[in-house]
């Protein structure tokens, strides 16, 4: 008979730390980029980005979902904070999965959902940055 998975003993320390970290789990008042995505599983992630001088200085998120998705969101933040926006575009679900070490295979979709919401936040940032503001001149 196969041994049953022991959540506390069989998960990596990094997975456990990311799953239970709450510091980033809050909205950002005026984000430079924002993305939200709902997965087929019903989890919804809202990603908020603060970007200074072309680098990601802070990632916050709101989440209606499972502990695995929370771990993925925190892992994403660790992986991208301090990177330039261009460098951040190459982060993918597999990077999140590898970072966490013990994300269950049946929850790899949580990493895909997290990366998808993040890409939407990056695209939102790029769109905001590229919008041209026409100065208003008195008639």
d(CA 75, CA 102): 12
d(CA 97, CA 85): 21
Asked whether the beta carbons of 48 and 14 are under 8 A apart, the reply is no
- pLDDT, tens digit (0-9, with 9 covering 90-100), for 25-41: 999 999 999 999 999 99
Q: What is the pTM of this model?
A: 0.91
Predicted pLDDT of residue 42:
96
Domains in the chain with CATH codes:
12-126 (3.90.1010.10)
Predicted pLDDT of residue 139:
46
């Amino acid at each position: 008979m196969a041994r049953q998975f022991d959540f506390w003993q069989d998960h990596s320390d990094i997975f456990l730390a990311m799953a239970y970290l709450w510091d980033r789990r809050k909205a950002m008042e005026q984000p430079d980029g924002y993305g939200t995505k709902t997965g087929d599983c019903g989890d919804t992630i809202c990603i908020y980005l603060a970007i200074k001088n072309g680098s990601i200085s802070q990632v916050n998120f709101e989440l209606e979902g499972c502990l695995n998705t929370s771990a993925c969101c925190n892992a994403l933040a660790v992986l991208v904070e301090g990177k330039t926006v261009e460098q951040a575009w190459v982060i993918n679900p597999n990077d999140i999965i590898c970072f966490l070490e013990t994300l269950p295979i049946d929850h790899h979709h949580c990493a895909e959902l997290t990366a998808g919401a993040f890409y939407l936040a990056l695209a939102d940032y790029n769109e905001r940055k590229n919008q041209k503001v026409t100065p208003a001149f008195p008639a």
